[in-house]
Structure 1
Amino acid sequence: MSQNTYVTASVLGRVRVRAGWDAPLQEIYCSVEPLDVQADFDGQTPRCFLEFAYADIPSMIASLAEGGIMLPADMRQAIESDVRAGAGNVIRDFGADWPSSQLH
């Protein structure tokens, strides 16, 4: 499975988006992890993942846009390349879409 990751702002606050091609399942997957989740009562930070599977990239982009999340063009191109090549075991980090000084 290819994994392409970046951090951005959304209606959920800061989120980590991970998307790519799942070769065994023959589908595009996308997970969104909220990063601004408050610690629960015992001080542990719960991680909530929103996970989706798509038949095509435009469907994924439309779904992300509903949450105010824009997919970087270079990340889209990487996923398209992964789909064409049937790529697996590819990991790319596209960073964040704001200055690193604003990341906590």
Structure 2
Amino acid sequence: MVHQLSVTTASIAPPATFVELRESCRLGVRRLKGGRLEVAKFVLGHPYDVAFASAREVAERSGVSTTTVMRLVNDLGFESYAAFQQLFRAELLRGRQ
């Protein structure tokens, strides 16, 4: 069974900004359950931490497995954790300007 946020991951482009990521999670919150919901809450609440934390660190701080973090990342349309993390780094840089 594949969990989806809005449509199949093969047909969605990943969010291009942190604001788009927040909106994707808000729209998909009813479909997010258990660990994925915990990861979403953590990353939205701690964007600057995620900018430099590994997937393993995010998992530990969210109380889930690294696999659960990666499933959320993939559900959002990202091909890798690094691509997901880049959104948070861009947000950090935007905040410094």
Q: TM-score range by the shorter chain?
A: 0.3 to 0.5
Taking structure 1 as the reference length, the TM-score comes to: 0.31
More helix by share: 2
Q: Which has the larger radius of gyration?
A: 1
More strand by share: 1
Taking structure 2 as the reference length, the TM-score comes to: 0.33
